[in-house]
Structure 1
Amino acid sequence: MSFVEPERYFSRISMIDIQKDIVDAGFSHVLLDIDNTILTRDTHEVPRDVSFWLSKARGAGLTFCLVSNNWHESVYELAGRLDLPIVAKAVKPLPPAFLLALKKIGAKRKDTVVIGDQLVTDVLGAHFLGMTAYMLQPLVEQDLKHTLLLRNVERAFMGDREPEGASCEISETTQTKTAN
C-alpha cells in the first residue's frame, strides 16, 4: 500500500462495519473529519444513516474526536450537538491537530483510525503519524473550489478503485425505485 492510499475506501461511513472494520481491527478511537464526511456540504445536515452509525459506534465503546480544517462557528455547534470533542482550524495534513485530538480523547496512534473524505488532508495526515486511514467518498459532489481541485489529485492516485459498499447502495437504490 502506498503512503498516499487509504488502507480502506468506503462509499460512506455507514458502510463501515463497526465490529469487523474497527473494533476487530484493533481500534478503539476514531479521529473523524466533518465536511462531506458526516455533514453534507449542500444542506449542512448529518444524514440519518450517519447519525445512526455514530450512535451505534459510540454504543460499541468507540471514542471520537472531530478534526476539521473548517474554522466557522457551525463546526463547534455541530460538535456540541453531537457531544464530541473537536479540533477545528486543524491545518490538515500537518500533525499538530491530529496529536491534539489524540490527547483530547486519551488515544494512542496504534489504536486510532482516521476517517475522512480527502486523500490530501485526512489520509496523508494519518499516514504522517503512522496511523491507519479509512477514506470515504464525499457525501455530496458540492464542495469548496480548492477541494474540488484536490479531487483531481485524488483521482490520479485512486484511479478506478471502487469504494466498498458502492454496489450495496446501487442495489438499494434500484430496489427502492422498483418498489415505487
Structure 2
Amino acid sequence: MFSKFKPTWMVDAIYQITPEQLAKHGIKGVLTDLDNTLIAWNNPDGTDELKNWLKNLQEAGIPVIVISNNNHHRVRLAVDKFEVDFVARALKPLGKGIREGVHRLDLSKDEVVMVGDQIMTDIRAAHRVGIRSILVKPIVQTDSWKTQFNRFCERRIMSYLQKKNPDMIWQGEIK
C-alpha cells in the first residue's frame, strides 16, 4: 500500500544531483518541485548554489521543468529569473502536471525523473505517471500551513517504509 510513496532515490539536496549521475541512469530531463526543493517556500530568490546547479544541467543539455501546485503567477515570479519552463496548478499527487512536463520534454518516461521534497505529492505523482523519483530533504524545516498536515502524515509513512526497506537511506548522490 505505501509502496506508492517509495522514492527511487533519496538525496540530501537537489544540488548534489549531477549531470554525470543522471546520465549514468539514462536520465535526459528533470522535473522538479519548486517550494522547499529548489527554493525555500518563504524566500523565492534562490541561491547561488541553485543557479550553478541549473547552469550545469543546462550546459549538459539536460532540461529542467518546474512542476508546482502553486498558481501561475506565483510560479512565474519564482522561476523567471532562472529561465526554466514550468507547469503551474499541477494537481500533485495526481499525474496531470507530471504528464504535461514529460510531454513538453518530448522524452520517454524512462528518460525523465521527478525531484521533490514531499512523498505525498511529488513522489506519489511520479509513481502515478510511471517515472523514477528522487526525494530530497526540504531546504528549510518550516512549511506553509498548507503543507504541515502532509508532513505529519509523511513522517509516519516514511517510518513504515524505512522499516520495510532498510535500503531507504539518505545519500549524497543517486547511485
Both structures adopt the same fold (TM-score exceeding 0.5) = yes
Cα deviation, 1:24-46, whole Å, max 9, x if unaligned, reads: 10100111111111111232221
Match of 2:120 in 1: 120
* RMSD, aligned α-carbons: 1.9
Write the letter of the residue equivalent to 1:11.
D
Unmatched tracts of structure 1, length 5 or more: 167-180
Unmatched tracts of structure 2, length 5 or more: 163-167
Amino-acid identity (%): 27
* 2:31–2:114 Cα contact (<8 Å) kept: yes
Q: Distance in 1 between matches of 2:146 and 2:27?
A: 32
TM-score, length of structure 2 as denominator length: 0.86
Q: Distance in 1 between matches of 2:75 and 2:42?
A: 15
Match of 1:13 in 2: 14
Match of 1:83 in 2: 83
Cα deviation, 1:92-142, whole Å, max 9, x if unaligned, reads: 111121111112221221110000111011100000111101011110012
Match of 2:96 in 1: 96
Q: Distance in 2 between matches of 1:28 and 1:54?
A: 14
Match of 2:111 in 1: 111
Q: Distance in 1 between matches of 2:12 and 2:78?
A: 23
Q: Distance in 2 between matches of 1:48 and 1:92?
A: 28
How many residues in Structure 1 have an aligned counterpart in Structure 2?
165
Aligned counterpart in structure 1 of residue 172 of structure 2, from 165, 172, 178: 165
TM-score, length of structure 1 as denominator length: 0.84
| Greater CA drift, 28-37 or 143-152 | 143-152
Q: Distance in 1 between matches of 2:87 and 2:171?
A: 28
* 2:45–2:78 Cα contact (<8 Å) kept: no
* 1:42–1:140 Cα contact (<8 Å) kept: no
Write the letter of the residue equivalent to 1:164.
Q
Q: Distance in 1 between matches of 2:86 and 2:112?
A: 15
Alpha-carbon shift at residue 72 of structure 1 (Å): 5.4
| Greater CA drift, 144-153 or 119-128 | 144-153
| Greater CA drift, 104-113 or 71-80 | 71-80
Match of 1:176 in 2: none
Match of 1:3 in 2: 4
